[in-house]
Amino acid sequence: MENELSGLSATFDREIDVANTLKELDSIRIKFLGRKGLLSVFYEKFGKLSKEERPKIGQILNSMKNKIEEKITRKVEALSETIPSISIDYTMPGYKIPAGKYHLISQTIKRVKDIFQGLNFDIADGPEIETDYYNFESLNFPEHHPARDMQDTFHVDGKHVLRTHTSPVQIRTMEKRTPPLNIISIGKCYRNDPLDASHLPVFQQVEGLMISEEVNFGDLKGVLKIFFSEFFQKETNIRLNPSYFPFTEPSAEVSVTCPICTNGCPLCKKSGWIEIFGAGMVDPNVFKKVNYDAEKWTGFAFGGGIERLTLIKHSINDIRLLYENDVRFLNQF
């Protein structure tokens, strides 16, 4: 073993003499001193030596280990002195790190919340997986009613669905609270719609509810006019066209004057008006489901898509652009 150690020492000397980089020196250190290095092999053999051989071989092993460590350390120090130091001018300004910003959808949600909170509306929330009762029955969708066909529903099981609108939040809130109340709910909804320029299977919706003893259709129009004027940051007129929703009576489709043009443009199809929300007075049958006295309380509800609000505000013609995460598109806003 003494001869083998002598050969190992000579091998180390040759390799350390030709090493010219810190990387090469690190490789030599691992080769000879690593856990599975060449010197470790001899330490394993050391345990099998006789008592007479151990003192001498042990001394050689320790001496060689110290020699390897010292030579590598000196060579590292010598090479480090040849590396030019990097001068830093601390008076120079730092690099500007671009700050992140809210996504377009998040910007719209924040703006909608700010406006309605300014109108004294509370924010309510509810589960995205709903029972058939809350998603349909409590909102005046009887079983087998044709109106259910309006909702292309994702069924989780026989009793649960992915909510098709945020209206169930209104029922859950009315069950917990007594009127008067003003709430809005914003969240994801799910419908089995084909993906195209104007439809998504998963989308965001805002829905509002106001209940008091004297609220009427004029109050509904006034609240919506204030909201849309604030949201589009310009005077916006409202038009209500008769429509049908199971949970409101009477019901209306809400159109607003085009926020982009005055004489007609592609966004409003040159009509000057854009259909944007659904709304109406709360049906008395809905009040009965939550044990509200329909003779005493009246209310209105309204709702629409967050994505649609975003598309109209920014004159975007394809809803898919909002979710493709193309930085070139998002940086425009």
- Find, among 205, 203, 193, the residue nearest to 152 by Cα: 193
Do residues 208 and 308 lie in contact, with contact meaning Cβ atoms separated by under 8 Å?
Answer: no
Task: Give whole-number Cα distances, 275 to 195, 249, 254, 279, 305, in Å.
Answer: 20, 19, 6, 12, 11
pLDDT of 205 > 90? The answer is yes
What is residue 94's DSSP assignment? P
Question: Which residue blocks in the chain are alpha helix, DSSP H?
Answer: 2-18, 22-33, 38-46, 54-82, 104-118, 132-135, 167-176, 217-232, 284-289, 306-314, 327-330
* Higher per-residue confidence, 147 vs 285: 285
Phi, psi of 225 (to 5 degrees): -65, -45
Tens digit of each residue's pLDDT (9 = 90 or more) over 226-283 = 999 999 999 999 999 999 999 999 999 999 998 887 777 777 788 889 999 999 999 9
Phi, psi of 196 (to 5 degrees): -150, -165
* Lowest-pLDDT range of 54-68, 116-130, 181-195, 227-241: 54-68
Mean pLDDT of the chain: 88
Tens digit of each residue's pLDDT (9 = 90 or more) over 191-201 = 988 888 888 99
Residues 6+ apart with CB under 8 A from 160: 129, 130, 131, 132
- Find, among 196, 195, 194, 198, the residue nearest to 267 by Cα: 198
Number of neighbours of residue 12 by Cβ within 10 angstroms: 21
197 token code pair: 């320029």
Compute the average pLDDT of residues 55-79.
83
Compute the average pLDDT of residues 141-163.
81
Phi, psi of 58 (to 5 degrees): -60, -40
Most confident of 65-74, 81-90, 143-152, 295-304: 295-304
pLDDT recorded at residue 85 = 59
* Higher per-residue confidence, 328 vs 55: 328
Q: At 147, is the pLDDT very low, low, confident or very high (cuts 50, 70, 90)?
A: low
What does pTM read for this prediction? 0.69
d(CA 65, CA 57): 12
Tens digit of each residue's pLDDT (9 = 90 or more) over 77-111 = 887 776 665 667 778 888 888 777 889 999 999 99
The fraction of the chain above a pLDDT of 90, given in percent, is 51
DSSP string spanning 272-296? SEEEEEEEEEEPHHHHHHTT--TTT
Do residues 84 and 192 lie in contact, with contact meaning Cβ atoms separated by under 8 Å?
Answer: no
d(CA 298, CA 213): 6
Task: Give whole-number Cα distances, 110 to 106, 170, 179, 287, 306, in Å.
Answer: 6, 20, 26, 30, 11
d(CA 184, CA 125): 9
* Higher per-residue confidence, 17 vs 134: 134
* Higher per-residue confidence, 27 vs 116: 116
pLDDT recorded at residue 86 = 62
pLDDT recorded at residue 116 = 97
pLDDT recorded at residue 198 = 84
The fraction of the chain above a pLDDT of 70, given in percent, is 95
pLDDT of 330 > 90? The answer is no
pLDDT recorded at residue 11 = 84
pLDDT of 315 > 70? The answer is yes
